[in-house]
Structure 1
Amino acid sequence: MKIVKISFVAAALFALAPLASQAQHAHGADAADKHIAPGETHAHASPHGGMVRSAKPYHMELVQQPTELRIYLLGDKMAAVPNKTLTGSVMVQTTDNKTTTVPLTAGGTDYVVAKLPAGTKARTAIVSLKNGSEALNVRFDKLDTAAKAGKSVTAAYTCPMNCEGSASDKPGSCPKCGMALVKKA
């Protein structure tokens, strides 16, 4: 009976949430934050090569790896928020229409990780994240399509000290040790 209730709740969340990820808003000096819907899809650059959604007052980026989902909470100027106060879970719908909930654990200094069971191919992920007392929920759709299309961009820059979480698609400095990122060969 408990499994039936959990399945019903999961199905209801997946059925009710698709509109949140389709909302749009305008950007610009006069349009700033006029309408920001949680989970909206928009054209912000993704600092780590993933999918970016709105999570007012933040943005959230999901980077899909073969065995994990990395979640970055992005603040001002799309900089990653340190993961010291981040907790939560990800409800994952797989390509075979099964759902599983995976806890988020600390990754590098600026992201949290959902370790996926072996062989899992994610289609949809609903991230429930707490930043201190703030609760944020964002839905990421079409993960299986993005993976097939090769949209997960590998980082072109990394820390010369190989610090975890330092990979980036643009030059900058390592969030862990502060050294300048170098272009990969």
Structure 2
Amino acid sequence: MKLFGISLATAALFALAPLASHAQHAPAGGKPEAHMAPGETHAHVAPHGGVVRSASPYHMELVQQAGELHIYLLAAKMAPVPNKSLSGKVMVQTTDNKTTSVTLVAGGDDHLVAKLPAGAKVRTAIVSLTADGKAINTRFDKLDAAAPGSKAVGAAYECPMKCEGSASTKPGSCPKCGMALVKKA
């Protein structure tokens, strides 16, 4: 009987865990503001148009540009952390399965930049930062699916929930959440 009580309590905790995570990261209305990232339990807003991942206690945004990766460390309310106290590297796997490590350098006051080898198309990036003596690591996968120059760029329709990979050149429904695609503003 005691074992049944412990099992029931454990099952209840596991059932409620996703609700606790949603409550911590949802805005006041209780609804997520943006897409759910693979492997994440809550939604993110991408203030610079990139891909955002958790980097406890922060969030990290990766923005791909021609020959560069821009990395933003984001604090409360997704505000960029000044890069004065930041340093780090990014390990990049390209679409041809080559791996390279690139040192991040300051790019303006609010982000770091990784200069990529010529012609590199990034599939995966693992960012390792040091902020005020603390290590912060985050992994960005499937970047080649959303890379500049892919079909998603210039699409006229998108999911109203901004689901990753939902951009399309014609109306339809989102492959992730099933909502009807809307015309971009």
Q: Under TM normalisation by the shorter chain, which class is it?
A: 0.5 to 0.7
TM-score by length of 1: 0.61
In structure 1, what is the equivalent of residue 142 of structure 2?
A: 142
Displacement after TM superposition at 1:132 (Å): 1.6
Distance 1:30 1:75, change over 3 A: closer
**Which 5+ residue runs of structure 1 have no aligned equivalent?**
1-23, 33-38, 154-185
Matches within 5 A, 1:68-147: 68-147=68-147
Whether the aligned pair in 2 keeps the contact of 1:63 and 1:152 (CA below 8 Å) is no
Partners of 1:30 and 1:67 in 2: how far apart?
33
Partners of 1:151 and 1:128 in 2: how far apart?
28
2:22 to 24, 27, 35: 27
Could you say what the CA RMSD is over the residues aligned between the two structures, in angstroms?
A: 2.6
Whether the aligned pair in 1 keeps the contact of 2:25 and 2:43 (CA below 8 Å) is no
Amino acid at match of 1:52: V
Amino acid at match of 1:139: R
SS of corresponding position for 2:146: helix
Q: Highest Rg: 1 or 2?
A: 2
In structure 2, what is the equivalent of residue 59 of structure 1?
A: 59
Tell me the number of residue pairs that the alignment of Structure 1 and Structure 2 aligns.
124
Partners of 1:126 and 1:60 in 2: how far apart?
11
SS of corresponding position for 1:27: helix
Distance 1:119 1:89, change over 3 A: same
Looking at both structures, which has the greater relative contact order when contacts are Cα pairs under 8 Å and sequence separation is at least 6?
1
Amino acid at match of 1:114: A
Per-residue deviation, residues 50-89 of structure 1 (Å, max 9, x unmatched): 0000000000000011210000000011100000011000
Displacement over 4 Å in runs of 4+: 29-32
Identity across aligned pairs (percent)? 64
Whether the aligned pair in 2 keeps the contact of 1:83 and 1:106 (CA below 8 Å) is yes
Matched, 1:43 2:43: yes
Distance 1:51 1:94, change over 3 A: same
**Which 5+ residue runs of structure 2 have no aligned equivalent?**
1-17, 28-37, 156-185
Amino acid at match of 2:53: R
Displacement after TM superposition at 1:151 (Å): 5.9
